[in-house]
Structure 1
């Protein structure tokens, strides 16, 4: 019964969509119009531009995660929470919120450069959409390149040369490295840096766990979990040294802020 009802709704919605499309076509609303300007370049209607923007919105989460400081920050915060022995505090929502705002803080110079050089000229129609995209690519490309290790970049460049036939000898300027090579190299470098920072954060908490476990063993309290005793000491130490400020400042400084 439910299947018949769903099928009927789909059929009715299809008929309604077809009638609406015929009405729009009869009214003369163009869905796709490409005109050629005086320079010989193609210009698209606002309808097609909106369609392209809505399609690009689906890639924004991936771009935010893989092309900004987001990856390094969220991995470090997750390792910090694990090192302190707190499974759900702070919660995932809080960690993601902190990561988003700290990412915005670190990426603000890049975003401001994109806004000044690409977005504002496009709004006043001084440049075309394709030119705006090309100009906006440069600041984010420079940011990722500055944070990418040379060995990671060489590895993916060699892989691209062997698999897709990339002409490595033709790349004389690092700014000419394509994003298809730079993005995976950047993500690899970010993960390595995040785990290095996480290792340094783990050491003091590990020492506290070892001391508490040794004291409990010497007292013969082997049945008592050391995590229960060490957790308050780790929280107290983290608060006394102003740990959140140190962690946030260190991560911002690792990007050259």
Structure 2
């Protein structure tokens, strides 16, 4: 989610309209997400693989096959929970533990722990959104400065008939290319996950 939001903010900051298109942003988001999640997927396959191999694909809900399926799910969710816990903010985890306890029956509130998937998942998503907006702000600032400089230069030169949008786009693209924006952004987004 963070990757997609940051790339969408980048597109808005560049002011290019639909370049890169939504499909390109979605595709790049999926590819970068696969880079981030591949180690987690491999770990899930390693720990859940033996139990999953015992599942009868023709009838996974019968007897021993069902037990093997539950065993595979239980084993497989541990690496996912570890990833979510590493990348979710502490405040967000505390918030969702508290919220989960408030909506439960009083006699079941003690069952909620910070390691519950239903606590970690929303905490991770809220953390992702907050981090995406922080990164988006940092990405947006240089392009906003280019906008202000171009507008002021055109105003100072008395060129009211020339559209600032037409003038600023080449400078924004040049800035992004010169600082190796795609390289830096992809690197920062992928390495942002521990």
Report the number of matched residues. 182
**Which residue number in structure 2 is paired with residue 133 of structure 1?**
73
Is 1:193 the equivalent of 2:131? yes
Give 1:170 shift: 6.7
Q: Which has the higher contact order (CA 8 A, sep 6+)?
A: 2
Given that residues 157 and 168 in structure 1 are in contact (C-alpha distance below 8 angstroms), is that contact kept between their aligned partners in structure 2? no
Name which of 238, 241, 251 aligns with 2:179. Answer: 241
Give 1:223 shift: 4.0
**Which residue number in structure 1 is paired with residue 59 of structure 2?**
none
CA RMSD of aligned residues (A): 1.9
SS in 2 for 1:222: coil
**Which residue number in structure 1 is paired with residue 90 of structure 2?**
150
Give 1:222 shift: 2.9
**Which residue number in structure 2 is paired with residue 212 of structure 1?**
150
Which has more helix, going by share of residues?
2
Alignment of 1:16-55 (within 5 A): none
**Which residue number in structure 2 is paired with residue 51 of structure 1?**
none
> What is the CA–CA distance in structure 2 between the aligned matches of 1:246 and 1:203, rounded to whole Å?
16
Moved over 6 A (4+): none
Work out which of the two has the higher radius of gyration on C-alpha atoms and give 1 or 2: 1
Is 1:253 the equivalent of 2:191? yes
Give 1:167 shift: 2.7
Name which of 21, 31, 35 aligns with 1:105. Answer: 35
**Which residue number in structure 1 is paired with residue 109 of structure 2?**
167
Give 1:120 shift: 4.4
Unaligned runs of 5+ in 1: 1-70
Give 1:221 shift: 2.1
Unaligned runs of 5+ in 2: 56-64
**Which residue number in structure 1 is paired with residue 2 of structure 2?**
72
Deviates more, 1:160-169 or 1:182-191: 160-169
SS in 2 for 1:181: helix
